[in-house]
Structure 1
Amino acid sequence: MYRHLALLRGINVSGHNMIKMDVLKTLLEKAGFQNVQTYIQSGNVFIDSEEEHGPSVGFKIKQEIFSQLGFDVPVIVITKEDLEACLNNNPYLKEKEADTKKLYFTFISKELSENSIHDLKMSQVKPDEAVIDKNRIYVKYAIGAGKTRFDQKYIEKKLNVKATMRNWNTVVKLLEMYSV
Protein backbone atom coordinates (compact mmCIF):
# COMPACT_ATOMS: atom_id res chain seq x y z
CA MET A 1 0.00 0.00 0.00
CA TYR A 2 1.28 3.46 -0.92
CA ARG A 3 0.49 6.74 0.89
CA HIS A 4 -0.31 9.72 -1.36
CA LEU A 5 -1.18 13.34 -0.77
CA ALA A 6 -3.61 14.72 -3.34
CA LEU A 7 -3.88 18.49 -3.65
CA LEU A 8 -7.13 19.58 -5.29
CA ARG A 9 -7.08 22.95 -7.04
CA GLY A 10 -9.89 25.44 -6.94
CA ILE A 11 -12.42 23.83 -4.64
CA ASN A 12 -14.42 25.73 -2.02
CA VAL A 13 -13.15 29.10 -3.26
CA SER A 14 -15.58 32.01 -3.59
CA GLY A 15 -18.56 29.67 -3.80
CA HIS A 16 -17.16 27.62 -6.71
CA ASN A 17 -16.72 23.83 -6.84
CA MET A 18 -18.11 23.44 -3.35
CA ILE A 19 -17.19 20.02 -1.95
CA LYS A 20 -17.65 19.17 1.70
CA MET A 21 -14.72 17.16 3.02
CA ASP A 22 -16.92 14.41 4.47
CA VAL A 23 -18.54 13.98 1.03
CA LEU A 24 -15.10 13.84 -0.61
CA LYS A 25 -13.89 11.31 1.95
CA THR A 26 -16.89 9.03 1.34
CA LEU A 27 -16.58 9.39 -2.43
CA LEU A 28 -12.90 8.37 -2.36
CA GLU A 29 -13.52 5.47 0.01
CA LYS A 30 -16.22 4.15 -2.36
CA ALA A 31 -13.69 4.47 -5.19
CA GLY A 32 -11.45 2.01 -3.35
CA PHE A 33 -9.00 4.30 -1.59
CA GLN A 34 -8.19 3.50 2.01
CA ASN A 35 -7.29 5.52 5.10
CA VAL A 36 -8.73 8.70 3.54
CA GLN A 37 -7.95 11.77 5.61
CA THR A 38 -8.66 15.40 4.71
CA TYR A 39 -7.14 18.59 6.04
CA ILE A 40 -9.04 21.89 5.92
CA GLN A 41 -11.56 22.77 3.22
CA SER A 42 -9.07 23.67 0.49
CA GLY A 43 -8.64 20.14 -0.79
CA ASN A 44 -5.74 18.37 0.91
CA VAL A 45 -6.42 14.64 0.94
CA PHE A 46 -4.25 11.77 2.17
CA ILE A 47 -5.10 8.37 0.76
CA ASP A 48 -3.66 4.89 0.69
CA SER A 49 -3.72 3.04 -2.62
CA GLU A 50 -2.26 -0.05 -4.19
CA GLU A 51 -1.28 2.24 -7.10
CA GLU A 52 2.27 3.53 -6.71
CA HIS A 53 2.23 6.10 -9.54
CA GLY A 54 1.05 9.47 -8.19
CA PRO A 55 -0.29 10.89 -11.48
CA SER A 56 -2.44 7.76 -11.96
CA VAL A 57 -3.90 8.24 -8.48
CA GLY A 58 -4.56 11.91 -9.26
CA PHE A 59 -6.29 11.01 -12.52
CA LYS A 60 -8.54 8.50 -10.74
CA ILE A 61 -9.48 11.08 -8.08
CA LYS A 62 -10.20 13.67 -10.78
CA GLN A 63 -12.43 11.17 -12.64
CA GLU A 64 -14.34 10.26 -9.49
CA ILE A 65 -15.02 13.88 -8.61
CA PHE A 66 -16.20 14.61 -12.14
CA SER A 67 -18.41 11.51 -12.45
CA GLN A 68 -19.97 11.85 -8.98
CA LEU A 69 -20.10 15.62 -8.48
CA GLY A 70 -19.74 17.10 -11.97
CA PHE A 71 -16.70 19.26 -11.13
CA ASP A 72 -13.60 19.28 -13.31
CA VAL A 73 -10.99 19.65 -10.57
CA PRO A 74 -7.26 19.45 -11.29
CA VAL A 75 -5.49 17.12 -8.86
CA ILE A 76 -1.76 17.13 -8.17
CA VAL A 77 -0.36 14.25 -6.15
CA ILE A 78 2.82 14.94 -4.20
CA THR A 79 5.09 12.95 -1.93
CA LYS A 80 6.39 13.38 1.58
CA GLU A 81 9.73 14.20 -0.04
CA ASP A 82 8.10 17.11 -1.90
CA LEU A 83 6.89 18.56 1.39
CA GLU A 84 10.26 18.04 3.05
CA ALA A 85 11.98 19.80 0.14
CA CYS A 86 9.65 22.77 0.58
CA LEU A 87 10.87 23.27 4.11
CA ASN A 88 14.50 22.15 3.74
CA ASN A 89 15.41 23.67 0.36
CA ASN A 90 13.53 26.95 0.49
CA PRO A 91 16.03 29.65 -0.53
CA TYR A 92 14.03 32.37 1.22
CA LEU A 93 14.59 30.82 4.65
CA LYS A 94 18.27 31.71 4.37
CA GLU A 95 17.42 35.40 4.42
CA LYS A 96 17.68 37.36 7.63
CA GLU A 97 14.32 37.67 9.32
CA ALA A 98 12.47 35.46 6.83
CA ASP A 99 8.72 36.02 7.19
CA THR A 100 7.01 32.65 6.73
CA LYS A 101 3.63 34.41 6.37
CA LYS A 102 4.81 35.55 2.92
CA LEU A 103 6.19 32.18 1.82
CA TYR A 104 4.07 29.98 -0.43
CA PHE A 105 4.61 26.85 -2.46
CA THR A 106 3.22 26.16 -5.88
CA PHE A 107 2.98 22.51 -6.83
CA ILE A 108 3.14 21.89 -10.57
CA SER A 109 1.68 19.06 -12.66
CA LYS A 110 5.03 18.29 -14.32
CA GLU A 111 8.71 18.76 -13.67
CA LEU A 112 10.11 22.08 -14.88
CA SER A 113 13.60 23.05 -15.92
CA GLU A 114 15.45 25.86 -14.17
CA ASN A 115 15.12 27.83 -17.43
CA SER A 116 11.34 27.88 -16.94
CA ILE A 117 11.85 30.81 -14.57
CA HIS A 118 12.31 33.01 -17.65
CA ASP A 119 8.84 32.00 -18.87
CA LEU A 120 7.32 33.37 -15.67
CA LYS A 121 8.36 36.91 -16.63
CA MET A 122 8.98 37.86 -13.01
CA SER A 123 9.62 41.49 -13.95
CA GLN A 124 5.85 41.76 -14.48
CA VAL A 125 5.11 40.78 -10.88
CA LYS A 126 7.93 42.50 -8.99
CA PRO A 127 8.58 42.82 -6.09
CA ASP A 128 7.30 39.23 -5.66
CA GLU A 129 9.95 36.55 -6.11
CA ALA A 130 10.08 32.90 -7.15
CA VAL A 131 12.52 30.02 -7.55
CA ILE A 132 11.73 26.84 -9.50
CA ASP A 133 12.74 23.47 -8.05
CA LYS A 134 11.56 20.63 -10.31
CA ASN A 135 7.79 20.23 -9.72
CA ARG A 136 7.43 23.07 -7.22
CA ILE A 137 7.98 26.79 -7.08
CA TYR A 138 9.07 28.60 -3.95
CA VAL A 139 7.25 31.92 -3.79
CA LYS A 140 7.98 34.95 -1.64
CA TYR A 141 5.37 37.67 -1.70
CA ALA A 142 6.42 41.23 -0.97
CA ILE A 143 3.07 42.19 0.54
CA GLY A 144 0.86 39.11 0.55
CA ALA A 145 -0.87 36.50 -1.57
CA GLY A 146 -4.11 38.45 -1.73
CA LYS A 147 -2.51 41.55 -3.24
CA THR A 148 -0.59 40.21 -6.22
CA ARG A 149 -0.99 39.21 -9.85
CA PHE A 150 1.46 36.35 -9.23
CA ASP A 151 -1.06 33.64 -8.41
CA GLN A 152 -1.65 30.09 -9.62
CA LYS A 153 -3.63 31.27 -12.66
CA TYR A 154 -0.71 33.49 -13.71
CA ILE A 155 1.71 30.58 -13.25
CA GLU A 156 -0.53 28.15 -15.16
CA LYS A 157 -0.86 30.55 -18.08
CA LYS A 158 2.85 31.39 -18.32
CA LEU A 159 4.11 27.81 -17.92
CA ASN A 160 1.21 25.93 -19.55
CA VAL A 161 0.78 23.64 -16.52
CA LYS A 162 -1.73 22.89 -13.80
CA ALA A 163 -0.73 24.36 -10.46
CA THR A 164 -1.99 24.65 -6.90
CA MET A 165 -0.61 26.78 -4.08
CA ARG A 166 -0.28 26.21 -0.35
CA ASN A 167 1.02 28.53 2.34
CA TRP A 168 3.84 27.83 4.77
CA ASN A 169 1.59 26.78 7.68
CA THR A 170 -0.38 24.35 5.53
CA VAL A 171 2.76 22.67 4.21
CA VAL A 172 4.16 22.33 7.74
CA LYS A 173 0.90 20.74 8.93
CA LEU A 174 0.67 18.41 5.92
CA LEU A 175 4.20 17.16 6.57
CA GLU A 176 3.28 16.49 10.21
CA MET A 177 0.19 14.58 9.07
CA TYR A 178 2.11 12.55 6.49
CA SER A 179 3.96 10.79 9.30
CA VAL A 180 0.82 9.87 11.25
Structure 2
Amino acid sequence: MTKHLALLRGINVSGHNMIKMDALKKMLENMGFQNVETYIQTGNVFVDSEEENAASVGFKIKQEISKVFGYDVPAVMVSKKDLELCLKNNPYLKEKECETKKLYVAFISKELSPLALNDLKISNFKPDEAAIDSSRIYIKYAVGAGKTKLDQKYIEKKINVTATIRNWNTVTTLLSMFENKL
Protein backbone atom coordinates (compact mmCIF):
# COMPACT_ATOMS: atom_id res chain seq x y z
CA MET A 1 0.00 0.00 0.00
CA THR A 2 1.10 3.52 -0.79
CA LYS A 3 0.10 6.52 1.33
CA HIS A 4 -1.08 9.48 -0.79
CA LEU A 5 -2.01 13.02 0.19
CA ALA A 6 -4.47 14.80 -2.07
CA LEU A 7 -4.94 18.54 -1.71
CA LEU A 8 -8.30 19.31 -3.24
CA ARG A 9 -8.54 22.73 -4.81
CA GLY A 10 -11.46 24.97 -4.10
CA ILE A 11 -13.81 23.01 -1.86
CA ASN A 12 -15.62 24.56 1.08
CA VAL A 13 -14.16 27.99 0.38
CA SER A 14 -16.48 30.99 0.72
CA GLY A 15 -19.54 28.76 0.44
CA HIS A 16 -18.50 27.22 -2.91
CA ASN A 17 -18.20 23.53 -3.80
CA MET A 18 -19.47 22.43 -0.42
CA ILE A 19 -18.55 18.85 0.44
CA LYS A 20 -18.86 17.46 3.96
CA MET A 21 -15.73 15.59 4.98
CA ASP A 22 -17.77 12.58 6.12
CA ALA A 23 -19.33 12.34 2.65
CA LEU A 24 -15.91 12.73 0.99
CA LYS A 25 -14.44 10.05 3.22
CA LYS A 26 -17.29 7.66 2.44
CA MET A 27 -16.90 8.29 -1.30
CA LEU A 28 -13.17 7.55 -1.13
CA GLU A 29 -13.72 4.39 0.89
CA ASN A 30 -16.33 3.26 -1.65
CA MET A 31 -13.64 3.73 -4.32
CA GLY A 32 -11.51 1.17 -2.50
CA PHE A 33 -9.10 3.52 -0.73
CA GLN A 34 -8.12 2.51 2.78
CA ASN A 35 -7.20 4.45 5.91
CA VAL A 36 -8.92 7.55 4.57
CA GLU A 37 -8.35 10.56 6.79
CA THR A 38 -9.26 14.19 6.21
CA TYR A 39 -7.77 17.25 7.85
CA ILE A 40 -9.94 20.36 8.26
CA GLN A 41 -12.71 21.23 5.83
CA THR A 42 -10.65 22.56 2.91
CA GLY A 43 -9.86 19.25 1.25
CA ASN A 44 -6.70 17.72 2.67
CA VAL A 45 -7.13 13.97 2.48
CA PHE A 46 -4.84 11.00 3.06
CA VAL A 47 -5.62 7.69 1.36
CA ASP A 48 -3.86 4.34 1.13
CA SER A 49 -3.97 2.69 -2.26
CA GLU A 50 -2.55 -0.26 -4.16
CA GLU A 51 -1.91 2.30 -6.91
CA GLU A 52 1.58 3.75 -6.55
CA ASN A 53 1.20 6.50 -9.16
CA ALA A 54 0.05 9.64 -7.34
CA ALA A 55 -1.18 11.37 -10.51
CA SER A 56 -3.42 8.40 -11.26
CA VAL A 57 -4.86 8.49 -7.74
CA GLY A 58 -5.49 12.24 -8.06
CA PHE A 59 -7.22 11.81 -11.42
CA LYS A 60 -9.50 9.09 -10.03
CA ILE A 61 -10.42 11.27 -7.04
CA LYS A 62 -11.17 14.24 -9.33
CA GLN A 63 -13.36 12.09 -11.59
CA GLU A 64 -15.31 10.59 -8.69
CA ILE A 65 -15.92 14.00 -7.06
CA SER A 66 -17.32 15.20 -10.37
CA LYS A 67 -19.56 12.14 -10.65
CA VAL A 68 -20.78 12.08 -7.03
CA PHE A 69 -20.90 15.78 -6.11
CA GLY A 70 -21.00 17.49 -9.52
CA TYR A 71 -17.96 19.69 -8.91
CA ASP A 72 -14.80 20.08 -10.98
CA VAL A 73 -12.25 19.79 -8.18
CA PRO A 74 -8.64 19.16 -9.14
CA ALA A 75 -6.50 17.15 -6.74
CA VAL A 76 -2.88 18.22 -6.39
CA MET A 77 -0.95 15.25 -5.08
CA VAL A 78 1.73 15.97 -2.48
CA SER A 79 4.28 13.52 -1.12
CA LYS A 80 5.89 13.41 2.27
CA LYS A 81 9.12 14.50 0.56
CA ASP A 82 7.32 17.56 -0.90
CA LEU A 83 6.28 18.61 2.60
CA GLU A 84 9.77 17.99 3.99
CA LEU A 85 11.21 20.17 1.22
CA CYS A 86 8.78 22.92 2.22
CA LEU A 87 10.36 23.00 5.67
CA LYS A 88 13.87 22.85 4.27
CA ASN A 89 13.56 25.27 1.35
CA ASN A 90 11.11 27.95 2.44
CA PRO A 91 13.30 31.08 2.27
CA TYR A 92 11.04 33.05 4.58
CA LEU A 93 11.69 30.71 7.51
CA LYS A 94 15.29 31.94 7.53
CA GLU A 95 14.26 35.51 8.27
CA LYS A 96 15.12 36.81 11.71
CA GLU A 97 11.57 37.74 12.65
CA CYS A 98 9.57 35.21 10.67
CA GLU A 99 5.81 35.46 11.19
CA THR A 100 4.59 32.03 10.15
CA LYS A 101 0.96 33.17 10.13
CA LYS A 102 1.83 35.18 6.99
CA LEU A 103 3.42 32.21 5.20
CA TYR A 104 1.63 30.10 2.61
CA VAL A 105 2.62 27.48 0.06
CA ALA A 106 1.06 27.12 -3.37
CA PHE A 107 1.37 23.51 -4.45
CA ILE A 108 1.56 23.26 -8.22
CA SER A 109 0.51 20.38 -10.48
CA LYS A 110 3.78 20.27 -12.42
CA GLU A 111 7.46 21.17 -12.22
CA LEU A 112 8.08 24.91 -12.63
CA SER A 113 10.92 26.55 -14.46
CA PRO A 114 12.94 29.20 -12.62
CA LEU A 115 11.52 31.68 -15.14
CA ALA A 116 7.99 31.07 -13.85
CA LEU A 117 8.64 33.62 -11.11
CA ASN A 118 9.14 36.27 -13.82
CA ASP A 119 5.88 35.20 -15.46
CA LEU A 120 4.05 35.75 -12.18
CA LYS A 121 5.20 39.40 -12.08
CA ILE A 122 5.48 39.29 -8.29
CA SER A 123 6.73 42.86 -8.16
CA ASN A 124 3.16 43.94 -8.99
CA PHE A 125 2.06 42.61 -5.60
CA LYS A 126 4.52 44.35 -3.29
CA PRO A 127 4.71 44.16 -0.33
CA ASP A 128 3.66 40.50 -0.81
CA GLU A 129 6.59 38.26 -1.71
CA ALA A 130 7.02 34.90 -3.42
CA ALA A 131 9.77 32.41 -4.24
CA ILE A 132 9.68 29.30 -6.44
CA ASP A 133 11.08 25.88 -5.61
CA SER A 134 10.31 23.09 -8.09
CA SER A 135 6.54 22.54 -7.83
CA ARG A 136 5.95 24.89 -4.93
CA ILE A 137 5.59 28.65 -4.59
CA TYR A 138 6.38 30.04 -1.16
CA ILE A 139 4.32 33.12 -0.43
CA LYS A 140 4.66 35.71 2.30
CA TYR A 141 1.60 37.94 2.46
CA ALA A 142 2.18 41.35 3.99
CA VAL A 143 -1.39 41.78 5.22
CA GLY A 144 -3.12 38.46 4.65
CA ALA A 145 -4.32 35.95 2.09
CA GLY A 146 -7.78 37.49 1.97
CA LYS A 147 -6.46 40.90 0.95
CA THR A 148 -4.24 40.06 -2.01
CA LYS A 149 -4.63 39.43 -5.70
CA LEU A 150 -1.69 36.99 -5.60
CA ASP A 151 -4.02 34.05 -5.17
CA GLN A 152 -4.57 30.60 -6.64
CA LYS A 153 -6.62 31.90 -9.58
CA TYR A 154 -3.96 34.42 -10.54
CA ILE A 155 -1.17 31.82 -10.28
CA GLU A 156 -3.11 29.33 -12.40
CA LYS A 157 -3.88 31.88 -15.09
CA LYS A 158 -0.38 33.35 -15.33
CA ILE A 159 1.64 30.13 -15.50
CA ASN A 160 -0.99 27.69 -16.81
CA VAL A 161 -1.00 25.20 -13.94
CA THR A 162 -3.35 23.79 -11.33
CA ALA A 163 -2.52 25.28 -7.94
CA THR A 164 -3.84 25.04 -4.42
CA ILE A 165 -2.63 27.14 -1.52
CA ARG A 166 -2.25 26.10 2.11
CA ASN A 167 -1.20 28.18 5.11
CA TRP A 168 1.99 27.30 6.96
CA ASN A 169 0.19 25.77 9.92
CA THR A 170 -1.62 23.36 7.60
CA VAL A 171 1.61 22.45 5.80
CA THR A 172 3.38 21.55 9.05
CA THR A 173 0.36 19.68 10.39
CA LEU A 174 0.08 17.62 7.20
CA LEU A 175 3.74 16.69 7.44
CA SER A 176 3.24 15.62 11.05
CA MET A 177 0.24 13.54 10.01
CA PHE A 178 2.26 11.93 7.20
CA GLU A 179 5.05 11.04 9.65
CA ASN A 180 2.59 9.50 12.10
CA LYS A 181 1.02 7.36 9.38
CA LEU A 182 4.09 5.70 7.93
What is the TM-score when the length of structure 1 is the normalising length?
A: 0.98
Cα distance per residue 1:104-139 (max 9 Å; x no partner):
000001110111111001121111111111111111
Letter of the aligned partner of 1:68 in structure 2? V
Q: What is the 5 A alignment of 1:11-50?
A: 11-50=11-50
Q: Which residue does 2:93 correspond to in 1?
A: 93
Cα distance per residue 1:2-34 (max 9 Å; x no partner):
000000010011211100000000000000111
Distance in structure 1 (CA, Å) of the matches to 2:60 and 2:76? 11
RMSD between aligned residues? 0.7
Q: Which residue does 2:130 correspond to in 1?
A: 130
Q: Which residue does 1:173 correspond to in 2?
A: 173
Distance in structure 1 (CA, Å) of the matches to 2:125 and 2:55? 30
Question: Post-superposition shift, 1:94?
Answer: 1.0
Question: Post-superposition shift, 1:76?
Answer: 0.4
- Paired residue secondary structure (1:15): coil
Distance in structure 2 (CA, Å) of the matches to 1:34 and 1:55? 17
Question: Post-superposition shift, 1:69?
Answer: 1.1
- Paired residue secondary structure (1:142): coil
Distance in structure 2 (CA, Å) of the matches to 1:23 and 1:83? 26
The unaligned stretches of length 5 or more in structure 2 are none
Letter of the aligned partner of 1:77 in structure 2? M
How many residue pairs end up in the alignment? 180
Cα distance per residue 1:30-73 (max 9 Å; x no partner):
00111100000000000001111111110000011011111110
Q: Which residue does 1:6 correspond to in 2?
A: 6
Question: Post-superposition shift, 1:144?
Answer: 1.1
Q: Which residue does 1:76 correspond to in 2?
A: 76
Question: Post-superposition shift, 1:81?
Answer: 0.7
Distance in structure 1 (CA, Å) of the matches to 2:94 and 2:72? 39
Distance in structure 2 (CA, Å) of the matches to 1:95 and 1:14? 32
Distance in structure 2 (CA, Å) of the matches to 1:5 and 1:108? 14
What is the TM-score when the length of structure 2 is the normalising length?
A: 0.97
Distance in structure 2 (CA, Å) of the matches to 1:16 and 1:144? 20
Distance in structure 2 (CA, Å) of the matches to 1:142 and 1:15? 25
- Paired residue secondary structure (1:179): helix
The unaligned stretches of length 5 or more in structure 1 are none
